[in-house]
Amino acid sequence: MPRLYNLVNNDELKRHLLESADARITLSFYKYHHISDPNSFRDQLYLRWNKRSVYGRIYIAPEGINGQISIPEAQFEAFKADMYAIPFLDGVRLNIAIDDDGKSFYKLKIKVRHKIVADGLDDTSFDVTKRGKHLSAREYNALTDNPDTIVVDMRNHYESEVGYFDGAIRPQVDTFREALPLVEEMLADKKEAPVIMYCTGGIRCEKASAYYLHKGFKNVFMVDGGIIEYAHQCQKEGLPNKFIGLNFVFDERLGERVSSDIVAKCHQCGQPCDTHINCANDACHLLFIQCEACSALYEHCCSAKCRDFKRLPEEERQKMKPVTEFNGSRFTKGRYKAYREGEGLVMQ
């Protein structure tokens, strides 16, 4: 029986990727489709794509597939032909990364889940196929010239903090599940207005648009292909780009540049910065924004407490870890603004 998962040490896989000179392409895709046996489909897909050196993270559920992957440039056409040979994936959009060095993923992980995006919705309560209208970049720009149009960011706070569409409502939520009822409440008296939703690649808005139509919103739109496709279309067609800053992505890059604007601030000193990192203290691992100066001062950690803990001998760290609280013990993601507490900085 062929092995259907990777057993190589993560550090070794990362080292191999960084040392490799092979050009790679990062892309994302999704498709809502009824999959009767997700586990079997998962194993078949692993066998097909592992041999093509596909790296990345793919979720499979009874409702479909959602993937963020990278592929050797030399294998791209063969991979695409292989993907399109799967009937329900034939012709599916491949969202090619905007700003990519090919070092986005270092191994292939395919997981079976209840849903391809955690939304907390009862899909039997409404028709998920009745979705809003897709807008091209040109159509988006035209509709947002109308002052009555409402634009809503369906992403999480740490995504919209570093980049967003000009004038968009940006709910300060940790999860998509939280955003759905909050946005409905915020726009309760705007059900006749044009409402445009957007996310990274479009998958969250597919479900959200159907949900809001079900809830009585009359004019629901979504950016076709999300921020990634919008940026490509603006560049290709020479259109004005209404997205400001960095597009947060869920891979090793943590962001891709769409415009030169830096709209976020370092969570530690408040200087303009949009570089996300994970705290170098593995007992914390908080995702937060840190500038170069603070990175040097705190040694890639989110606080002096984490920096000092990381300096301790391994044996002492292991003893202290179960009884020590770090920023990552309390928060899933860092938020601006930080405030000083004793010798360190604590994220709000």
- Would you please indicate which residues are annotated as catalytic (active-site) residues? 199
For 215, other C-beta atoms within 10 Å of its C-beta total 15
Determine the Cα–Cα distance for residues 109 and 112; give it in Å rounded to an integer: 10
Are the C-beta atoms of residues 221 and 151 closer than 8 Å to each other? no
For 299, other C-beta atoms within 10 Å of its C-beta total 15
- The CA-based angle 242-257-261, given to 5 degrees, is 60
Q: If you ran DSSP here, which 8-state letter would residue 289 be given?
A: E
Closest Cα to residue 28, out of 277, 348, 318, 256? Answer: 256
Dihedral sign from CA coordinates of 13, 100, 336, 163: negative
What burial class does residue 268 get, using C-beta atoms within 10 Å of its C-beta: 0-12 exposed, 13-18 middle, 19+ buried? buried
Q: If you ran DSSP here, which 8-state letter would residue 82 be given?
A: H
Are the C-beta atoms of residues 274 and 289 closer than 8 Å to each other? yes
Determine the Cα–Cα distance for residues 121 and 70; give it in Å rounded to an integer: 30
Are the C-beta atoms of residues 234 and 165 closer than 8 Å to each other? no
Structure tokens that stand for 309 in this block = 């803990």
Are the C-beta atoms of residues 172 and 115 closer than 8 Å to each other? no
- The CA-based angle 235-236-238, given to 5 degrees, is 65
Determine the Cα–Cα distance for residues 103 and 346; give it in Å rounded to an integer: 31
Determine the Cα–Cα distance for residues 183 and 160; give it in Å rounded to an integer: 15
